[in-house]
Structure formats: C-alpha cells, structure tokens
Structure 1
Amino acid sequence: MHPIGLIVYPGFQVLGLAMCATFELANSAADEPVYSLQLLSETGGLVATSAGFAVETTAFDQRPFDTLLVMGDNVIRPVSAGLVAFLRRAGQRTRRLGSICTGAIALAEAGLLDGRRATTHWCHAASLQRTYPKVKVEEDRIFINDGHIWTAAGMSACVDLALALVEMDLGADVARRVARQLVVYHRRAGGQSQFSVMLELQPKTDRVQAALTYARQNLKSALSVEELANAANLSPRQFSRVFHAETGQSPAKAIERLRVESARLMMETGRHSIDVVATDSGFGDRERMRRAFIRAFGQPPQVIQRANRDG
C-alpha cells in the first residue's frame, strides 16, 4: 500500500483534487488497493478551496507517508512555519515529495529544492526563481523529477504528474489504462511545453487564423508569404501587413515558431532521429533546425531531446 498525503491550505486550487481520480482508477486497474489518500492541513478540519466549498482534512502528525504532494494556488501566498517544518521533517523519511503549481514555493521555502531542477505554473516561474535563486527553475516544463522530488506546472498538469507516479509504481500499461479511463492523452511528457504557439499568436480575424491553420497542416511546404496569403484570400502585401498587426510578428517568424513547436512535440512523443524531425517539421535540414532551436530555447535540439528522454 502506498499512502499518499495531499497537503492543502485555505484557497488552494480545486483542480488539484483531480489527482485523486488518477490514484482511485489506478487501484481499480491494478485489481487491488495500491494507493490510499488523505487530505492534510496544518490544523485539520474544513479547509476552503478556491471554488468556495470546503473539504475535510486531517492535521499534520507523525504518521508515515509514501508520497506527499503540496497543492497549488491561484496566487502566491506566504508559506506557514508549520508547513515548512512539516515538509522538512517529511523530507527525511518520505519516499517522494512533490508539488503542483505554487506548491513548489512551499518546497523551496523548506530548502528542499536547493540545487534541484523544478517547475511551476509559467506565470509564477520568474517569481520562484527570483525569490529562491538556489533553485534551477525550468518554467517551460509540464513536470520535473529530480531525485525524490517531483514538481509540476499548474492546473491540469496535476493529472500528468499523477499518471507519471502511477507509471513509476505500476508500469506503463496500468498508467495507459488509467489515462483511457480519464479520457486524457496517456500523459504529456515531463519536458513538454506549457505553451502553444497557436494560442499565443491569437489572431483576431478568421483570415489570419485560416493561414495559421493551413501552415500548421502543411509544415513540410515552403510556406512562402504568397502561399499563406492565398490561404487567407489576401494579397501578399496586405497579408503581411495584417498578419503583423494581429500577431505582432512576421509570417516567417511565426512559421518558424510553429515548426519548432512541431519538432519539439515529435521529440517528446517519440524516438525519431534529428534528421527525421527536421524533415517532418519543415526545416529541411538539421542545421537550420539547430539554429531555430537556439533562437527559441538557447539550446540545440539534441540537448532538449536528451532532457525529454530523461525527464
């Protein structure tokens, strides 16, 4: 049996409770009770969620847990001295410690992330790095495992983390069965980006959106301005002007970002060679892709590929 403690506090983000379903279904998939769950808080009793309703919790005590996970929040709040002390004690006797979103701040305050790689929700990553400079913050990750410490991005990343823990304990087959029951992708790789280029560009008109959709579906093509303008039913000159006005960047830069995103996704979800990735994502050759990756991430694709396989 793996007892899991989910650490909550007033105002914690309610979506984190979705992890409970992952472990519940893992028990069913394994045909025996593998996990037991307990909601913990500093004082016990009812604790309000971010959605307004409250959940019943048990106060911190000396009972042993196999895994402790600190829930996240919509905002950054001060970490109580009681939670810090509890985590420091737990760090010496708990097989796994982890966090969702801003829960990483509690781990950092307890000194458990010093010298370690960690992630959090992208909008809080800069604050985490600034406040705790000994932590190696990687903001563009879904989750990271460094030793016995696991940290995850915000919101739905809690499910990815839970599936990764299930896979570690019970194997990939059980994790896949749980994911199918949850009606989610098996799980996003730890190194997968928290961002989407299509979401970030956010064009305002259907014509520019149509050009971007066409580009994403035809990355192997040259995707010249003329080709994109035709997809948008605009003249090349008008298309370039409208595209920049709506997205804040040139068509060429946006296409490169789409290709980088496609290439990175290929490396996260398979074991394709660099040459195959470069061809299928439209770069044509590995040197052109290498330059684009360095512009986007400051690292060549081989480094990111190794990190994805290790993460």
Structure 2
Amino acid sequence: MQVSILICTKNRRSDLELTLNKIGYLIDNISVECIVYDDGSSDGTYEFVVENYPTIILKRNSVSKGLIYCRNEMLNSTQADYAISLDDDAHFITEYPLEAICNYFESNPKCGLIALRIYWGLSTPALLTSSELPERVQGFVGCGHVWRISAWKNIPNYPAWFVFYGEENFASYHLFKKNWEVHYLPDVLVHHRVSLKSRKNNSDYTIRLRRSLRAGWFLFFLFDPLHLIPKKMAYSLWIQLKMKVLKGDFKALLAIVLALFDLVWSMPLILKNRDSLSINEYTNYQELKSTKIYWNP
C-alpha cells in the first residue's frame, strides 16, 4: 500500500457523499487505501458508507471523541507510505493528483509534509491553473495536506486537548525541530466547499472563534521563547478588541473571555508539553514563507 486517503466526519452525510463521489476513481485504485472515521454520527453516515463503499476501511466512535483524536488514530493505523488528509467537505479538482504527490515526495527527501493548493468556496472556480511554484512554507491547512508517514512517526501525536484548531501548527513546529520540511505544492488543487462569509452568522461562530484564539495562545506558550510571549499576547488581544469588539461584535468578546479561561485552565498541560524553540530556531522559522491557506484564482 502506497497512498492512504483519510477522512474524518460527523453528521455531515451529504457532504461526505459528494466527497466520496468526487474521489471515487481514487478509491477504486488498488494502490490506494481509504479510511473514513465516523466520529459519533447520528445521521446514517455509517450505514451509507457500509452499503455503498465496501472497500473503504470504516472506523466509528459511538460517542464523539473529536477531530484530532480521529486524525491521530487514522495516521497511526495506516500502513501507507503517504497519507492524504481531506475534510469531508473537500475534494480534488486536479484529476490525477497521486502521481504529482508521490513524485514530489520522491524528489524531495527532506519534505515531511505537502500542503496542497486549496480553494475555499461553494462553487468551483472558473480558473483552475496557477503560476505558483512549489516552495517551503511554515505550515499547512487541515482540509488538504499529505503526510510522509515516516515524518509523522518522528513527532508527537496531534494534541487532542486542543479539540479543534491549532493541531497543524503544533505539528509544523515539531517537524521543524526534527529537520523535516513542509512544502507547498500548487500542482494539486483541492476544493474546500465552504462559504467563509456566512460562517460569522452561523450558530457556532462564538465557539469557533474561542477555539481558534485559544489554540493560537496555546502555541505561544508551547513553542515561543518566554520573553516574546507577553508582547505577542498583548498584541493578539488588542487586535481582537480593535477589529471585532470595538466594532460591535460582542459575540467575539464572549469568545475572548472564554478563550482566556481555557488558557489558564490548560496551563498544566501546556507546561508539561512545552518544547520551546531556541532564539535561532525561532528566527529561522519566522523567515520561512507563511502558510498558504487560501488560493484565489
């Protein structure tokens, strides 16, 4: 087995159905393993996969254990050389991505993880090509990336106590410390079927912002040199207040307060897992190109 496709899902059967339909030609490839992890769905997701995709390796939690837990389980169980992580609402637009991915890894032995080019939007972009070239970057996005499994085995598991957000940055820091590189590969395009503009009006806006903020703050205390943390915390808080709260977004104020509580509550875990970058490491990391999160045609 050379390549594995890993998908975690929970109560998003319609999204998963579309994704599996779009990547069906990859699932049918005998050199490809596909693992779907149903994290406690109650919408018939498990039954749908069993009935329609008998070749998929299906895992299930009767009670949800969280996205990060599921990703750890899938990455630790696969026997493939390379593992593609896709969200249940994401699929490849590039028609034959596996050859490009495998060839890139083989040509770049220091590359431990490939960050794919990702388009965020509900409809497929009219223009699919890009003039971008592959390059080394700081990190990657959860909805579309590929692990070299030997690199994954060289670092700690994703921190399940983050719950949601931040685990990719956690892994990126550890890859950097172990002299593995993260490379952006624009030759492979992923469509993440999400409307960013509508997220602010969703019922989970506050909890998403809370988890995003606390993840960023967790990472400060886990990896940054101590003398830099107070200034970075103060700047982060000021930006949130300036750009959100002072403009009347009081849901954001609640998220900030709750995230600060989470930071204090999680401090024992943070101190236990702290693995600070040296000043030289921090400087070198900051000189890398920023993570490529959004591609705009």
Give the TM-score normalised by structure 2.
Answer: 0.26
Give the TM-score normalised by structure 1.
Answer: 0.26
Structure that is richer in strand per residue: 2
**Structure with the greater alpha carbon radius of gyration:** 1
